[in-house]
């Protein structure tokens, strides 16, 4: 654009000289800066450690960014003043602005897998004789929440959502890890596990709502909070039975040395059925619950080598159970 204006000015001067104008006037054209070539360094992508992210844009006077969906208007969001330490998975929505009001926008997604030892942080649980129950956790952006639930009823549909003051429900997008329909006695029993990554702006007190479509009187839900991992790696087909030694399926070989293994065991119709963790497994505080018509437990294990893994646990009574396992890296 500037090159074309410069050439046009030369033509005007040349034309004036050719026509013999005694006092040719050189036309000075004022132009507005137009930001272009918005870029980040390092480039968007997946990294195994904290990254120092910088943004640049030619012909810009200020740069603004946000981590919620949608690039901010000039003067909105957070003004970029220097490198941003990015320790967890984050998407930056960036706007480069000129003083004249021109702007260019872009987005840059960073997936951060910090490496090291995956960490189990906390657990919560709930049960109900109705359609839903809630679990209260205080969560941190970038952590993963994994939840298992079991409903002893007729073809119940299970679902999950979370709410925080910093966002509207549902705050995060949940995906299914394991699904099971039917139990060892032939009666209908639904069990599922779900997981989500806490959004970049989502730290804080969180209410997780577990829901069944069937008012079964036998509905349980357990949730855990883990960090140091970013991705679901392996799951295994469910196992069900009626013995006092429930197990999960056996996973395919995991793809990372350092992973955390999570198991859910559900029984929606077991009176006062206590749980004892399996060898090398840990049932965390608030990780198991028993009552007149429900029983469930979660347990975890942090491993440092790849392999095929199976969850084991012991119960007090021989009632129908379901076992599921998920691994995260």
Beta-bridge mates of residue 289? 296
Instruction: Return the closest-CA partner of residue 178 out of 240, 237, 126, 251.
Output: 237
N-terminal to C-terminal alpha carbon distance within the chain:
50
- Tally the residues of the chain: 329
Radius of gyration of the chain (CA): 29
Per-residue pLDDT tens digits for 261-318: 999 998 756 655 689 999 999 999 999 998 766 789 999 999 989 999 999 999 887 8
Alpha carbon distance 154, 64 (integer Å): 53
Flag whether pLDDT at 18 surpasses 50: no
| φ and ψ at residue 316, rounded to 5 degrees | -85, -40
| φ and ψ at residue 180, rounded to 5 degrees | -145, 140
Alpha carbon distance 203, 226 (integer Å): 14
Per-residue pLDDT tens digits for 144-163: 999 999 887 655 678 888 88
Output the CA angle 244-249-252, nearest 5 degrees.
155
> What residue ranges do the domains of the chain occupy?
32-112, 119-328
pLDDT for the residue numbered 116: 57
Order the strands of the 275-277 sheet from edge to edge. Answer: 247-250, 310-315, 275-277
pLDDT for the residue numbered 7: 40
Prediction pTM value: 0.66
Q: Please give the DSSP secondary-structure letter assigned to residue 278.
A: P
Q: CATH: 1.10.3470, 3.30.110, 2.60.40, 2.20.28. Which one for 32-112?
A: 2.60.40
- pLDDT band, very low/low/confident/very high, at 129 (cuts 50, 70, 90): confident
pLDDT for the residue numbered 271: 58
Q: Which residues contact 309 (CB under 8 A, 6 or more apart)?
A: 250, 251, 254, 261, 301, 303, 325, 327
Span 98-107, average pLDDT: 93
Instruction: Return the closest-CA partner of residue 266 out of 292, 223, 297, 288.
Output: 297
Alpha carbon distance 189, 155 (integer Å): 7
**Encoding tokens for residue 15?**
């034309």
């Amino acid at each position: 654009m500037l090159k074309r204006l410069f050439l046009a000015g030369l033509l005007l001067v040349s034309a004036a000289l050719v026509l013999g104008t005694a006092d040719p006037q050189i036309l000075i054209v004022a132009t507005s800066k137009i930001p272009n070539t918005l870029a980040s360094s390092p480039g968007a992508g997946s990294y195994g450690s904290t990254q120092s992210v910088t943004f640049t844009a030619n012909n810009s006077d200020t740069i603004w960014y946000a981590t919620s969906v949608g690039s901010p208007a000039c003067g909105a969001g957070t003004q970029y003043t220097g490198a941003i330490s990015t320790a967890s998975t984050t998407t930056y929505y960036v706007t480069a602005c000129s003083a004249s009001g021109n702007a260019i926008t872009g987005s840059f997604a960073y997936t951060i897998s910090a490496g090291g030892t995956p960490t189990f942080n906390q657990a919560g649980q709930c049960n109900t004789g109705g359609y839903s129950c809630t679990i209260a956790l205080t969560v941190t952006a970038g952590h993963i929440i994994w939840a298992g639930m079991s409903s002893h009823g007729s073809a119940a549909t299970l679902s999950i959502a979370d709410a925080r003051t910093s966002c509207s429900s549902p705050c995060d997008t949940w995906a299914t890890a394991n699904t099971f329909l039917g139990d060892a006695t032939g009666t209908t029993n639904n069990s599922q596990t779900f997981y989500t990554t806490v959004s970049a702006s989502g730290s804080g007190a969180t209410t997780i709502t577990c829901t069944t479509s069937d008012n079964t009187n036998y509905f349980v839900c357990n949730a855990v909070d883990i960090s140091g991992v970013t991705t679901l790696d392996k799951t295994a087909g469910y196992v069900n039975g009626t013995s006092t030694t429930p197990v999960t399926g056996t996973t395919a070989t995991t793809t990372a040395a350092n992973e955390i293994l999570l198991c859910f065991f559900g029984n929606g119709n077991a009176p006062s059925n206590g749980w004892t963790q399996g060898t090398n497994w840990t049932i965390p505080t608030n990780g198991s619950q028993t009552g007149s018509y429900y029983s469930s437990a979660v347990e975890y294990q942090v491993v440092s080598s790849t392999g095929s893994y199976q969850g084991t646990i012991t119960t007090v009574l021989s009632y129908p159970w379901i076992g599921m396992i998920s691994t995260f890296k």
